[in-house]
Amino acid sequence: MPRPLFVFISFSLLFLSCDSDKPSSQSEWISLFNGKDLTGWTPKFSGHDLGENYKNTFRVEDGLLKVSYDQYDKFDGAFGHLFYKDKFSHYKIRVEYRFTGEQLPGGPNWALLNSGIMLHCQAPESMAKNQEFPVSIEAQFLGDDGSGKRTPGNVCTPGTNIVMNGALVTEHCIVTSNKAFPRNEWVTMEVEVRGNGTIKHLLSGEVVAEYEKPQLDETDPDAQKLMIGDNKMLHEGYISLQAETHPVEFRKVELLVLKAGTAE
């Protein structure tokens, strides 16, 4: 009996290891970042073609996924996003990130120690060449700039709107009450996405933002191109990571697929 049991377990582990890079409908976290290269990810920079990794901004070094600006002299308007290859609807995404170094000269003041995860993104190939941000919902990172006014975990809405506390919110960024973390400190952010239902932002396990009914903003030119009839509700989309002129590193990008209609 011990021998057949050992063979069965070994075969199971081999099967799981071979399939570990594919999203699963079962309750298991998968890594979207393999720690070696950008396999599965595609960059899109404003003013550049899809797939062009402008000035090697997105790279993998020492097992970390980095947003780096060491090949720039100054910011030239090329906001960037790194898109994962698959769409998702009901899931949790968890990242470990930290800000490093100094902001690229010429970057806007608001982009200091600023990055984020873009959720329910439009398909990257549907973006206009000069479009700066995908139509999406952002779970925002903000590092501590010494002002005492930064609040990581905010929700921002390029080309979209959300419902919070029963009311439609049309302002671009809704701040949280959480304090910011200093540069070089690793921070864990998790976002729970339930299709067109509830979305929660968690920092270090604490819910800092909660909203629902993500939808296209019918007054936004980029969002207008994506509307089919009068249907503006967002139920799914792509995930992307930002390059907004401040260096940032990721050591984990993990995802857990959730079944629609299940409890937390």
- pLDDT per residue as tens digits for the range 213-225: 999 999 999 999 9
- Global pTM? 0.88
pLDDT at 67: 98
pLDDT digits over 92-149, tens only? 999 999 999 999 999 999 999 999 999 999 999 999 999 999 999 999 999 999 998 8
- The least confident of 26-30, 78-82, 145-149 is 26-30
Tell me the torsion sign for CA atoms 242, 138, 88, 124: negative
Can you list the domains of the chain with their CATH numbers?
Answer: 22-257 (2.60.120.560)
Task: Give yes or no for residue 8 having a pLDDT over 90.
Answer: no
Cα dihedral 224, 125, 22, 240, rounded to 10, equals -70
Say if residue 248's pLDDT is above 90: yes
CB within 8 A of 23, min separation 6: which ones? 30, 86, 88, 255, 257
Task: Please report the pLDDT score of residue 27 as a whole number.
Answer: 66
CB proximity list for 79: less than 8 A, separation 6 or greater? 45, 46, 132, 133, 242, 243, 244, 245
Helices (H) and strands (E) in the chain, counts: 2, 17
In whole angstroms, what separates CA 242 from the centre of its chain?
7
Buried b (16+ CB within 10 A) or exposed e, 24-55: eeeeeeeebbbeeeeeebbbbbbebeeeebbb
**Residue 20: predicted pLDDT:** 42
- Beta-bridged to residue 252, according to DSSP, are 96
Would the pLDDT of 17 be above 80? no
Backbone angles phi, psi at 236, to 5 degrees: -160, 175
Both tokens assigned to 199? 């979305």
